[in-house]
Copies of this chain bind each other. A is one copy, B any other.
């Protein structure tokens, strides 16, 4: 049994990860939370203790850490005896946290690709720009690194693998659909850090179509889906991490990602972008003050963390897979529905953080018990999906499948 966990990051997702690790500390052992602002880690520790989330008595500690500092991260791993690092810090720290894991030989998990703060959109496949350059090093050192194991990327990659293994002889297309049909009762808010949120939709949109990379503008391609529970939902084709690994690991000609956006979001985004208020380049006011417009937008918007207590409704995230089985065309939608209010009651976060934070804990548990401890770098679709989805069924993110008129829970 490989255990003791170090969580890097102290945002909304880290809060969920900490609660879920605590609920499973019989498997995961000691739990340590580290980020630059130790007070944020301590607030999470307090929240876990208040909710009584620890399954059994055990270590739960907050630490100050600059995760860009490899030596400091390495020292913390050694001091805490962590065997698994769950990196849910900013997307800018992936490479340095991974370095510390490679140096100490512990397992590495993350939920989003590495980003260079200076580059808004990189050439596909994104994983090849940073993560995959270290595949050989992981293999040589026998270090398990599971990339992108949140919900999307993550669970949706497992859905794709499941479809590929069990439901199809040939897959023609995978459309990953992510719709938040929840309501936060504010005129406008982003669901996570506005700086990261807007950044995600500022550049060009990469998709994998006809077995090649295709580029569009954001909000150029629109599609309305009729989805379980949340109903008719407007989405736009968006670039997203999982397209970049699924396109390389599965032989599927079309892999696309669709993100749900209401009219309000699109209007606000369009105005802010066209006025230049999403710019990260400083402007100078008439009074001579130099200021980055996006920082001011962030300052006037609600703190996403403040939304959770009042969030209602559901998210629906899944893979619409089309292809052929036994000589006949087939179409299935493998998905999860997550209820904002239920999440808040369980761990004090809304469903967007919950869906992102539960899967890496499931992955950590599978590494702890050896099932996923593969001693190399992988994306989720390269691992057996059933143990993962089965565990998620039990710890809060059940999988369902809709096919024609049939809509059933999947057991594993």
A residues sitting closer than 8 Å to B (CB atoms) are 187-188, 267-268, 271-272, 274-277, 279, 283-287, 289, 291-293, 295-301
Contact = CB atoms under 8 A, between A and B. Distances in A.
Contact of A279 (B268, B279, B289, B300): B300
A299 B272 contact: no
Contacts of A272: 271
Given A267-B267, A291-B291, A285 B296 contact: yes
A289 B300 contact: no
B279 A271 contact: no
11 contacts: A187-B274, A188-B271, A188-B275, A267-B267, A277-B277, A277-B296, A277-B300, A283-B296, A293-B296, A293-B300, A296-B296
Nearest to A295: B285
Given A289-B295, A291-B291, A295-B289, A188 B300 contact: no
Contacts of A267: 267, 271
Nearest to A186: B274
B285 A299 contact: yes
Contacts of A274: 187-188
B286 A295 contact: yes
Nearest to A289: B291
A38 B170 CA distance: 76
A188 B276 CA distance: 11
A187 B276 CA distance: 11
Nearest to A290: B289
Contacts of A287: 295
A287 B291 CA distance: 10
Q: Which 8 A-B pairs have the closest CB atoms?
A: A276-B300, A271-B271, A285-B295, A283-B299, A285-B299, A187-B274, A296-B296, A291-B291
A285 B279 CA distance: 15
Contacts of A284: 299
